[in-house]
Copies of this chain bind each other. A is one copy, B any other.
Amino acid sequence: MKSNTISLEHGAGGEVMQALIGEIILKNFRNKSAGSIGLECLDDGSTVKLEDFNKGCELVLTTDSHVITPAFFPNTNIGRLAVAGTVNDLTVMGAKPLALTCAVIVPEGFPLKEFEEIIKTMDETAAEVGVPIITGDTKTVEKTALDSIILNTAGLGITDSPVRDSGLQPGDKILVTGTIGDHGISLMAHREGFDFDTDLASDSAPLWKLIEPLLKLRTPEGEPVITAMKDPTRGGLANALNEMASKSGAGILIEEDWIPFKPAVSAACEMLGLDPLEVANEGKAVMGVKAGFEEEVLSILRQHPYGRDAAVIGEVTPDKNEVVLRNRFGGMRFVDVPAGDPIPRVC
């Protein structure tokens, strides 16, 4: 640790956050595991094995706090972000969402009407995937102590075959379920008062129904077709790909031209000098798919509204820990682990 105090980068989803988690949290928590995937895996959630429970079935537990400002943004609000975020953490672990929690912290003076709007949005988002919100907590603080509402949602799911972020094998295809950078860039533009285009909106969405059919796919040898999956939120696709590559002991080669972007996101990134690969997504998954099955997976994904722009963006290579981007002229550059998301408080 270079500094003696917390900085914004410590929570930005990149290298600095990883260091904090490794050097302080993982070092001091001695008891970190209740199943096959524990805290030390730093996956999107962890598993709990139950005695006397079905063959290989595990529960998945995950948690996320949302501190986004403003709480209302193009199309939706923090309530959708919280529910979708937790549903997606379960989803990318291959787990069917069973139940969510909802803990709110509200500063005094927060409008009750907005509070109710957020609660309604949580309900609607949860209803999309049929998951109940079964328990909660309500705290209030002085308006001088907190600038906006904070939500925490924890999620409980169940899976008979957890999907890890570390299962990539050389030759696997890398797929994303849709356009990249929408959430972070739309939020940035909204905050700064830019008016680019109507299609610049948060992509926040609960992905369980999109992903569920893929989890049953098997190769003729009985292997899962989806080899690894991750939620490219803070730190964006750049961070997700680097984590998947390094945990899998493999490399990834991405074709720049194959990455789906909304034109408004490309334009905004150019104008603001931001790399869309480092910006948070809130309704996308990135996955490894066994070679030869990518067309089948794409056709399933594209049948769902949240997967219409799904695309193969590259493949897994044997080059340990390298993520490389190739542009249309064949030029290559490394995609580094970002220090963190370039836009603070987007989730």
Contact = CB atoms under 8 A, between A and B. Distances in A.
B119 A154 contact: no
Nearest to A154: B154
Contact of A112 (B5, B111, B156): B5
B147 A63 contact: no
Contacts of A144: 147
A146 B25 CA distance: 21
A12 B102 CA distance: 17
Residues of A in contact with B, size category: 35 or more
Contact of A8 (B32, B123, B142): B142
Contacts of A123: 28-31
A8 B137 contact: no
Interface string A5-18: 11111111000010
A146 B149 CA distance: 11
A158 B59 CA distance: 12
A109 interface: yes
A28 B123 CA distance: 7
A267 interface: no
Copies of this protein in the complex: 2
A120 B132 CA distance: 34
Contact of A6 (B102, B106, B119, B120): B106
A345 B146 CA distance: 13
A41 B138 CA distance: 15
Interface in A133-174: 133-142, 144-148, 150, 152, 154, 156, 158
Interface of A: 1, 3-12, 17, 20-21, 24-25, 28-35, 38-39, 45-48, 50, 52-54, 59, 61-67, 69, 98-99, 101-113, 115-116, 119-120, 122-123, 126-127, 130-142, 144-148, 150, 152, 154, 156, 158, 344-345
30 contacts: A6-B106, A6-B111, A6-B115, A10-B140, A12-B140, A24-B112, A24-B116, A24-B119, A28-B123, A29-B133, A30-B127, A31-B132, A32-B132, A32-B133, A33-B132, A34-B98, A39-B133, A48-B134, A50-B50, A61-B101, A63-B101, A65-B104, A65-B139, A65-B152, A101-B154, A105-B150, A137-B152, A141-B147, A150-B150, A154-B154
